[in-house]
Structure 1
Amino acid sequence: MNALAEAGAALIGGVLDHATTVHGGDLSDVVLIRLADGREAVVKSGPAPRTEAAMLAAISATGAPAPAVLAVDDRTLVIEQLPTRGSLSYAWENLGVAVATLHGAQGPRYGWRESYACGLVRIDNRWSEDWPAFWAEQRLGPHRGHIDASLSRRIDRLVGRLPELLPATPEPALLHGDLWSGNVLVDHDHVTGLIDPACYYGHGEVDLAMLSLFGQPGRSFFDAYGTLDPGFEQRRPIYQLWPALMHLRLFGVGYASLVDRLLREAGV
């Protein structure tokens, strides 16, 4: 951890005074550093720091809150230390505004300028003009063969029905891609930053479904976000399946029951 802290301090041209481990990162090491001149910053390791830096810049460019990138190289990302003296329970309305702002940025198609990986799981972001095909071929389908055979067969059945269950061409919104409460920084009653992104362009409901996977946004979030298209509740488990499958592959069979439940909610 000292090596990571020293690398971060060097990247922003400072002398390390103190480093503290930041808990919560499952796939990266994260430290908060204080430099001899009093500056503070967050330093993060990872397989693709430049990719994450570009995503944070893309989020910030929409007007949605994100930490500023202070420095980056092939192994280390240094970002702004943001205030976090609040609770999301008091900031749902502000988060709704932030996510609506993020989704207001539109892409040319579905996907992202590069593919990347989350741990050992590759995430295929090749551009697509067809949203149900993107979700079938680049989100749900790739997990077949890596999970229990009975779950794989049910995913096959669901994939075959996606053209009738998902809109063909929703607006390709800029997605955070991993929007859960742990990736939302709050100070008092407002959101200071959306962190740890896995950005791509897709149906905005994907972020809303992810936000509802491990918790329930307050009513004020949806009021501030804006009107949802009819059928969101039917599409929600389909969109939640991707992060559930990612958790199953990354963290083990404890998530198999979640995948099973979401498949049942999706009708397979």
Structure 2
Amino acid sequence: MSVEALARVFGADVTATAPLHGGDLSEVLRITFADGRSMAVKRGPRVDTEARMLAAMATAGAPVPRVLHQAGDLLCLEWLDEGTASPEGWEALGRGLRTLHNCTGTAYGWPEDYGFGPVPIANETMADWPEFWARRRLLPFLPRLPMALARRLEALARALPERLPARPSPALLHGDLWTGNTLFGAGDGWMIDPACYHGHAEVDLAMLELFGAPPKAFWQSYGPEEPGRAERRAIYQLFPALVHFRLFGAGYQSMVARLLLAAGI
């Protein structure tokens, strides 16, 4: 379906289109109709899966944009008026993330595989969390790593049964929750661009800390952390670092090496 075809779906002519930031892996536009309505429109090969993930998050009570329409390679989302991040916004985000994590599954993974651009993300469910993290999130990157880093990653994967809880509560995860996938409005905090699966809730927290530092208001609203989270943080941050290395090249090799060192490898 073309953007122009949306005029028939929504019963009004498209009067303006404008590219939005965040389109590294898919095209993202703001569409404005003659009747004044606006929406965010994404074009990409996996938007049907994203629509189902957003629906699952919304059902859990998490703050996400409403899916207005999905067909072919187009996904139409509620337009959210973005503002400056405030303590109230961060508080809302923390509360919303806790609500998401309180929605639990029966195993680790997701009914569908996903991907970031050319990087496939396998989500076949498993009952053992350390095995899931090793097989689904770390070891698939071995062929792309320099030999020295690959050996260190293999060593970490072997050690995961002693480093990660065997069966933490299988929380519904956003799955790619860096600060660029959050939006803030007047006292609101939303999550966008999910890569959902069920897993240890600390995965989302570690991702939020990879490229920034959520303020006190977020942590107060989210609630208590599990004992030992600081020791697990680098293990969980390795996955997004490996994705970045695969997508954007050797500039992220030092991040992977640093996180392996922080993980004690």
Do these two structures clear the TM 0.5 threshold for a shared fold by scoring above it?
yes
Deviation at 1:158, TM superposition (A): 0.3
The aligned runs of 1:244-263 (5 Å cut-off) are 244-263=241-260
Runs of 5+ consecutive residues of structure 1 not aligned to the other structure? none
Deviation at 1:264, TM superposition (A): 0.2
Q: 1:97 aligns with which of 80, 84, 95?
A: 95
Matches within 5 A, 1:127-206: 127-191=125-189, 193-206=190-203
Q: Structure 1, residues 76-103: CA drift from partner, whole Å, max 9, x if none?
A: 1011101112325652222110100010
Preserved contact between residue 83 and residue 187 of structure 1 (Cα < 8 Å)? yes
2:108 aligns with 110
- AA of the residue aligned to 1:201: H
1:86–1:189 Cα contact (<8 Å) kept:
no
Against the structure 1 CA distance between its residues 89 and 123, is the aligned structure 2 distance closer, same or farther, given a 3 Å change threshold?
same
Query: Which amino acid counterpart does residue 39 of structure 2 have in structure 1?
Result: A
Post-superposition shift, 1:266?
0.1
Q: CA deviation at 1:74?
A: 2.1
Instruction: Give the conservation status (yes or no) of the 8 Å contact 1:84–1:186.
Output: yes
Aligned to 2:19: 21
Indicate yes or no: 2:228 matched with 1:241.
Answer: no
Q: Secondary structure at the match of 1:196?
A: coil
TM (norm. structure 2) is 0.96
Q: Quick one: distance in 2 between partners of 1:134 and 1:18?
A: 45
Counterpart in 2 of 1:36?
A: 34
| Larger CA deviation: 7-16 vs 142-151 | 7-16
Query: What does residue 122 of structure 1 align with?
Result: 120
Once the two structures are overlaid, the 10-residue window that deviates more, 105-114 or 10-19, is: 10-19
User: What one-letter code is carried by the residue in structure 2 that aligns with 1:74?
Assistant: G
CA apart distance, 1:38? 1.6
In the alignment of these two chains, the number of paired residues is 265
Distance change in 2, residues 1:144/1:112 (3 Å): same
Cα offset, 1:72, TM superposition: 0.5
Cα distance in structure 2, aligned partners of 1:207 and 1:95: 12
Write the deviation string for residues 165-224 of structure 1: whole angstroms up to 9, x where unpaired. Answer: 000000000000010111111112321x21100000000000000000000111221121
- Counterpart pick for 2:213 among 216, 222, 232: 216
Q: Select between 217-226 and 45-54 the one with higher mean Cα deviation.
A: 217-226
Q: Could you say what the CA RMSD is over the residues aligned between the two structures, in angstroms?
A: 1.4
2:225 corresponds to which of 219, 223, 228 = 228
Q: Secondary structure at the match of 1:67?
A: coil
Aligned equivalents of 1:113, 1:253: Cα separation in 2: 32
User: What secondary structure does 1:145 align onto?
Assistant: helix
Q: Deviations over 1:99-142 (max 9, x none)?
A: 00010100121000111221111100001000000000000010
Greater Cα offset, 221-230 or 83-92: 83-92
Q: Deviations over 1:134-167 (max 9, x none)?
A: 0000000100011211111100000010000000
The TM-score normalised by the length of structure 1 is 0.95
Q: Percent identity?
A: 50
Counterparts of 1:47 and 1:11, CA distance in 2: 20
Q: 1:211-253: CA deviations, max 9, x gaps?
A: 0000011122112111111110000000000000000000111
| SS across alignment from 1:108 | coil
Is the CA contact (8 Å cut-off) linking 1:234 and 1:266 kept in structure 2? yes
In 1: Cα distance, 2:10 partner to 2:73 partner: 14
Structure 1 residues 83 and 234, CA gap change in structure 2 (3 angstroms): same
